[in-house]
Amino acid sequence: MNIVITIVFFILIFSVVVISHEFGHFLLAKVNGINVVEFSVGMGPTLFAYKKGGTKYSLRLFPIGGACMFEGEDGMETKDGELSAGAFPNAPVWGRISTVLAGPLFNFLLAIIIALIMVQFMSINDTVISQVTEGSPAQEANLQAGDRILSIDGEKMCIGSDITLFTLTTKGGAVEVRYERDGQKYTTKITPQYDDQEGRYLMGIALGEQVEVRGIGNLKYAWYEMRYFTRATFKSLGMLISGRVGRKDVAGPVGIAVNVVGKTYEATKEYGWLTVLLNMLNITLMLTVNLGILNLLPLPALDGGRLIFLLLEVVRGKPVPPEKEGMVHFAGLVFFMALMVFVFFNDLVNIFG
């Protein structure tokens, strides 16, 4: 594995994802007249910094995070202890809500832009069956080559990846499949069989039809691509909470760099730079959707946790005491720092263990 190229791609991907998120906070803070104390990319010691318009812009050593810090946020005050009119707590509550919400929303905006670029240069795997395996559940359910899968258990199947996601996340059991044949819609029952080699439930179908999307169709299929990663993230979270995903299936920055970015580069480099670039964009799309969703979770120190306090302020008509909110977010920060340490060592165990 080419370590240098892997590191370069990893830094570029994480930087794009993080900067888009923090820029969302930054832009809406400026729109709402909130003073931005520091806009930083990365974590740890500062490598480079300069100040302009009252904001410190800094680049830090480790490219695995970033921050957009506001005056008065979590107890951050001016040197004389007084907050200016542009401090975060002094902004209108809906201005603060939009500023906090902007980070995750910009992750989704980046996702749709990346998806638009990707579908312009690649073919999309459709939901049309190209082959049915002899003796498979699909054959027993009378599915045939040429049938188009429309939905499985009520979940709409827009692209082939949706069907793959279903086979990876289903718990087994009979499912209802709606499909189209010769312009007519039908419904059948299928009980996928677990395949030990594949590690998932299979229906016994292959998808082979590729759709080349150009023009206005780009937007529809770009939405389908982002929708797929959004659903995959929620399903993965559900599997993690339910215990269906174990320690070996969890990856942090090191694991993503080695097992995702590095291996993807090695597997695609022989097909040329465009294939490599499209696959790196695909990883970026996955990560920016993940970051957007995870930051919206109602947990302390995350954007979702801050939104909970802001919505409580809307309901109560007055803010939660800053010192109490600050303590909650500090506890959340300590938890996530401990989680990062665990994930780091977990990555090392998974790679070298």
Q: Quick one: pLDDT at residue 327?
A: 86
Scan for tokens 């590690």, then name that residue: 199
Q: Which residues contact 314 (CB under 8 A, 6 or more apart)?
A: 93, 94, 97
CATH number assigned to the domain with residue range 127-208, chosen from the 4 options 3.30.420.40, 2.30.42.10, 3.40.50.2300, 1.20.1290.10: 2.30.42.10
Hey, what amino acid is at 317? G
Residue 219 identity: L
CB contact at 8 A, 346 and 252: yes
The owner of tokens 């709409």 is 156
Q: What is the pLDDT of residue 32?
A: 95
pLDDT of residue 78: 46
Q: Concatenate the DSSP letters of all residues of 159-194 into one string.
A: SHHHHHHHHHH---S-EEEEEEETTEEEEEEE--EE
What token pair was written down for 89? 């707590």
| Residue 273 in tokens | 């730079």
Instruction: Enumerate residues 6+ apart whose C-beta is below 8 A from 179.
Output: 143, 147, 148, 149, 150, 185, 186, 187, 188
Over its C-alpha atoms, the chain yields an Rg (Å, rounded) of: 23
Q: Which sequence spans correspond to the domains of the chain?
A: 1-123+214-309, 127-208
Between CA 28 and CA 155 the distance in angstroms is 35
State pTM to two decimals: 0.86
Which amino acid does the sequence have at 1?
A: M
pLDDT at position 128 is 94
Q: What is the pLDDT of residue 125?
A: 87
CA angle (119 as vertex; 115, 123 as ends), nearest 5: 140
Helix (H, G, I), strand (E, B) or coil at 197: coil
Give pLDDT tens digits along the chain (353 positions): 578 888 888 888 988 999 999 999 999 999 999 999 999 988 889 999 999 988 999 998 887 778 899 998 865 454 456 788 899 999 999 999 999 999 999 999 999 999 999 988 888 889 999 999 999 999 999 999 999 999 999 999 999 999 999 998 888 899 999 999 999 999 999 999 998 888 889 999 999 777 777 666 678 889 999 999 999 989 888 877 776 766 666 666 666 766 778 888 888 988 899 999 999 999 999 999 999 999 999 988 899 999 999 999 999 999 888 888 888 888 888 887 787 777 667 666 666 66
